[in-house]
Structure 1
Amino acid sequence: MIKSWMVIVGITFLVSFGSFFIKPRDVKWATHLRLPKWLVVFEPAIPVIWNLIFLSGAISASIIWDKDPGSLKTWLLMATYLLVEVVTVTYIPATLRLRNLSVGTIIGGAGLIVAILLTLSVLPISSSAAALLIPYLVWSPIGTYSTWKMTQLNPDAA
């Protein structure tokens, strides 16, 4: 029998492939951008950090699903989890494809707002599911702030 966590992790994994919509010419544009000096410390760890955040989100979603499987409320929460991931995965391809750091800042901010609303919605159902969203709530503003700071360092890319 397929467990709910298997389906949720599978969907999370499939959505993460959205980052493959990056073309080499888009990456070339990004390599010329100036970065905040402090970002160099975190940059190698960013893929690992986001993978852990997505895994935490998937576990959180599994906990919520198992509390009340199949109810309308649970389906709406699952749609919100999916929205958070889609917005997050959209950040890099959209920013690079449009060559516009302001787009990334807006997408990052939108992801944070949806994640806050999701966390507040999940909290009454399961404090552990809400706690598993804290890594997103902590890291997402750092990424959004970094992108905003890059608009100042690269005004022609803002």
Structure 2
Amino acid sequence: MIKSWLVIGIVAVLVAVGLGRLNTPEGYRWFNRQRRPTWLTFEGLIPVIWTVILICGVWSAYNVWEAAPSNPPWGLMAVYLLLEVSIMLYTPSMFLFKNLRAGTIVGAAGWVIGVILAILVYPVSSTATALLIPYLLWSPIGTYVTWVMEGLNSSRD
């Protein structure tokens, strides 16, 4: 039988790579031309922050898989998958529509999914819920930055 951590890791990588392929050079150029708030001094750390958050998410899913009475807990794994899809669609949604509001909406929706997931997994594993906290704290920050950028660039969209 395949190990749970391997299944979760493979699915997470496939989703990330698959949805990451939706990003286009044209979209990158468009996004890089957008004005940013002057206080956004930590933009270079964002890839590191997201890497940590995604690792915590995979680790959280692993904890739930191992702790759930019905092993594997397919319903909860589906919500983890939905959360990762929403996270990974943030950038392609902006690039495809060349619209920061799309990112704001996807970011906010992802946070709601994250809150629901944290509530659902708490009875199964408090550790799994704790591992979702970095996402629950960071997602509103990223969504807020995108919302501010939307205002700064409203004449450009």
TM range (shorter): over 0.9
Contact 1:5 1:62 in 2 (8 A): yes
> How has the CA–CA distance of structure 1 residues 157 and 83 changed in structure 2, closer, same or farther, with 3 Å as cutoff?
farther
**Alpha-carbon spacing, 1:157–1:92, altered in 2? closer, same or farther (3 Å):** farther
Correspondence for 1:10: 10
The TM-score, its normalising length taken from structure 1, stands at: 0.93
Alignment partners' CA distance in 1, 2:71 and 2:138? 31
Aligned residues: 156
Structure 1 runs of 4+ aligned residues shifted over 2 Å read: 68-72
SS in structure 2 of the partner of residue 156 of structure 1: coil
TM-score (norm 2): 0.93
Matched AA of 1:24: P
Would the aligned equivalents of 2:56 and 2:131 in 1 still touch at CA under 8 Å? yes
Paired with 1:82 and 1:141, the residues of 2 have a C-alpha distance of: 20
In structure 2, the partner of 1:19 is 20
Q: Hey, what does 1:67 align to over in structure 2?
A: 67
Which blocks of at least 5 consecutive residues in structure 2 are unaligned? none
The residue number in structure 2 matching 1:51 is 51
Name the residue aligned to 1:97. 96
Q: Provide the alpha-carbon RMSD of the alignment.
A: 1.5
**Which runs of no fewer than 5 residues in structure 1 stay unpaired?**
none
Tell whether the 8 Å contact from 1:36 to 1:149 is kept in structure 2 after alignment: yes
Deviation at 1:69? 6.5
* Kept after mapping to 2: 8 A contact 1:151/1:157: no
| 2: CA distance, partners of 1:49 / 1:137 | 12
Q: 1 or 2, which has the higher helix percentage?
A: 1
Alignment-derived partner of residue 35 in structure 1 = 36
